[in-house]
Structure 1
Amino acid sequence: MSFKIGWVGCGRHATQMLLPQLAPNNVTLAAVCDVNPLAAQAAATHYGVSAVYNDYRQLLEHPGLHAIGMAVGPELHQTIAIAALQRGLPVFIEKPPGGSAKAAREIAATAHRAGVPAYVGFMKRYSTGNKIAGNILRSGDFGPILGFQGNYLTAPGYFSGAVDYSSFYLHHCVHYMDLMPWLVGAEISDLQARAFEHQPGRLLAHLNMTFANGALGTLVMGTVQSRGTPMENITVMGDHQRIEVNNVINVAWHRDPPFKAEDDAARLDNSCDTLCWSPNFTAAANEDHKGYHALLRDVFRGMKGKSSQAPTIEDGAQAMLNLERMIVAIEQQLHNPSLSH
């Protein structure tokens, strides 16, 4: 039987990154909805959908739906998710899962009462390089995780006119408030920040944190880089080894090799030398290294009652809590620069 989903939000991100993942996962897009009639109709035409709505409440009444997906704004994520869950429909919520940790917890409580799952679009867990790193870190071959270092920057494209960093926090920073604990294997127990606004809209923040397992973390985020250049790299450090992920696709696992210059028999040793991986973009393979395909494949497994590791609304609530702690630390620095001295 075909698994039918109704979708709310037909903007560029949904139509180009999320909706293309449905058909390969044997999911039928049965109905679409957007407050912009032109956007809704364009998505319907592109994906061959006849049911088009401009009000999410009408979409929820569409017969035969098995689940709801959405990519709208934070407040609507909460409203629509709760309405769908109360009807017994599993939901996929593109991040952020509401505008606050409280909102995400309310979604989680509704999902628990309804007995149906709610999943969140934290695709960074599924980006190819991060996925490889996560598998190594959990394999038992890496040993204790001692530290995390990362850079995740962007440009000030989240606002125009009056500077408001809310969207930057909610749509950009929230990713790492989920990804870091997932990679380190422990929640953030302490978080502090140094922040500098070189001019309105140009924010640079250095975060330092301690994780519940004792690992230390450093993360640089801000709106001072071009989106046209790679702006993301990660290092996870262990004892005499580390994993580096650059631009979500290049992975290096540095271990503990001996010096080779004075060894006449020197060679590359599978047991201790660095392992590297990069994708082959010349191959005729439809690979999504950003992670949307793998994420939604796991989401649909869960929606269909199968085993799934997809990020849940509980994960979303924790990430939002981490984000709020980060925002408080940054805003304190912006309004009280003397705290950094």
Structure 2
Amino acid sequence: MVEERRVKLGVIGCGKFPNAALFPCFHLAPIELVAVCDLNRERAERTAAAFGAARAYQDHREMFARESLEAVMIVVGPAVNPALAIDAMRAGLHAYVEKPPALTVEDGERMASVSRETNRFLAVGFMKRFGTAYRMAKRIIESPEFGGLAHLTCKFTSGLYVPVWSKELTPFSFLLDHSIHHLDLIQHYAGPVEWVCAQQSTGGKERFGFAAVLRFRSGATGLVEVSNYESRGVPNEHLRLMGEGRTVIVENVSHLTYHRNAPAMDRGRDLDPEHDSLTWAPNMTAISPENWSLAHMGYLGEVRNFAECVLRGTPPKPDILDGIAAVRLVHAIHDSNGQPLTLRG
């Protein structure tokens, strides 16, 4: 039996999020978890023991020097992602940074420059691209029958929470930590944004909302609504993609409906297998790694994608350029204040 080749991986950051969403995916991906690193040694050692890493470190440079790593995943925060990713790439490692990749476009561009200089991959953790229903939607809108994406609407809301990396909740930290997921996703479907006009609302202490009108360079248009007004206990994602008489709707990550230019109702109308709507939802009674919540949400897919790209030597997507585009859109929506802003780059 030929043993599967696995990426020798190190991870920087052993907090609650990677322990809940990323480390559990490693055994289903071509990954050998060699070592972990965290400023809190006890937390690093606890994570290493839980997920089978041989060693735990407090200093990432020591981990890079002592271990024979091929790649590193960085799950810390946008203020320190640039320095850690640059250290990793200059140490000869391919790198993944969890979103958001950086606080500013300039920091992102510095990361991209070092990626080119060192010829090392730099992936960004936008896991929604790999969610089951969102992947299906992407394939549908790229099919000839869809006729091209003309318009999209997107709603992404949440309850009140403070991003771990920011220490306080502000309109900007909310957009950068929460809304950036869908600000990447819409560009995954429609391409780069040409201009945006957005308006902020405030609903009390630490409650924010943004409504934005966008035009993409492709000619498509979009409406985006993001806020933290709603409860975290209710469905809070809705995406609608419109083509020529066809519409794809993804509700709350897990339910997809495809309206296929169905004929109007008339007397005696029967089911039209070629044009009536299709729906998809997971069968949660089926026991399979592909039916796991972390798979449907996209975490398993993004982990596998990064590892497989490193093994094949092919650049992963989404990459730091996608991260820069999302950070640029965050800043534009935050700064618009009701005025159209053209996005450069």
- Equivalent residue in structure 1 for 2:108, among 88, 93, 104: 104
1:309 Cα deviation after fit: 5.2
1:176 aligns with 2:179: no
Q: Deviations over 1:139-187 (max 9, x none)?
A: 2221021111011001221269965234312211111221111112x21
1:82 aligns with 2:124: no
Q: For the residues of structure 1 that align with 2:112 and 2:8, how far apart are their CA atoms? A: 23
Q: Is this contact kept in 1: 2:97–2:125, CA < 8 A?
A: yes
Match of 2:261 in 1: 256
Q: For the residues of structure 1 that align with 2:107 and 2:218, how far apart are their CA atoms? A: 28
1:317 Cα deviation after fit: 1.2
Q: Label 1:181 to 1:109 Cα distance change in 2 as closer, same or farther (>3 A).
A: same
TM-score, normalization: structure 2?
Answer: 0.91
Match of 1:285 in 2: 288
Match of 2:95 in 1: 91
Match of 2:225 in 1: 220
Q: For the residues of structure 1 that align with 2:210 and 2:54, how far apart are their CA atoms? A: 47
Amino acid at match of 1:34: D
1:198 aligns with 2:200: no
Q: For the residues of structure 1 that align with 2:299 and 2:6, how far apart are their CA atoms? A: 21
Q: For the residues of structure 2 that align with 1:34 and 1:307, how far apart are their CA atoms? A: 29
Q: Label 1:41 to 1:233 Cα distance change in 2 as closer, same or farther (>3 A).
A: same
Match of 1:149 in 2: 153
Q: Label 1:218 to 1:311 Cα distance change in 2 as closer, same or farther (>3 A).
A: same
1:28 aligns with 2:28: no
1:37 Cα deviation after fit: 2.0
Q: For the residues of structure 2 that align with 1:163 and 1:295, how far apart are their CA atoms? A: 27
1:275 aligns with 2:278: yes
Q: Is this contact kept in 2: 1:233–1:245, CA < 8 A?
A: yes
Amino acid at match of 2:249: E
Q: Label 1:308 to 1:247 Cα distance change in 2 as closer, same or farther (>3 A).
A: farther
Q: For the residues of structure 1 that align with 2:92 and 2:168, how far apart are their CA atoms? A: 41
Match of 1:297 in 2: 304
Sequence identity (%): 28
Moved more, 122-131 or 253-262: 253-262
Q: Is this contact kept in 2: 1:104–1:313, CA < 8 A?
A: yes
Q: Deviations over 1:121-143 (max 9, x none)?
A: 01111111111000111122210
Query: Structure 2: where are the runs of 5+ without partners?
Result: 339-345
- Equivalent residue in structure 2 for 1:164, among 150, 170, 174: 170
Q: Classify the secondary structure of the residue corresponding to 1:199.
A: coil
Alignment coverage as a number of residue pairs? 328
RMSD: 1.7
Q: For the residues of structure 2 that align with 1:107 and 1:143, how far apart are their CA atoms? A: 37
Match of 1:133 in 2: 137
Q: For the residues of structure 1 that align with 2:154 and 2:44, how far apart are their CA atoms? A: 38
In the TM superposition, 1:233-248 aligns within 5 A as 233-248=238-253
Q: For the residues of structure 1 that align with 2:181 and 2:261, how far apart are their CA atoms? A: 31
TM-score, normalization: structure 1?
Answer: 0.92
Q: Is this contact kept in 2: 1:249–1:279, CA < 8 A?
A: yes
Q: Label 1:190 to 1:32 Cα distance change in 2 as closer, same or farther (>3 A).
A: same
1:306 Cα deviation after fit: 4.6
Q: Label 1:254 to 1:223 Cα distance change in 2 as closer, same or farther (>3 A).
A: same
Query: Structure 1: where are the runs of 5+ without partners?
Result: 334-341
Match of 2:342 in 1: none
Q: Classify the secondary structure of the residue corresponding to 1:210.
A: strand
- Equivalent residue in structure 2 for 1:52, among 41, 53, 56: 56
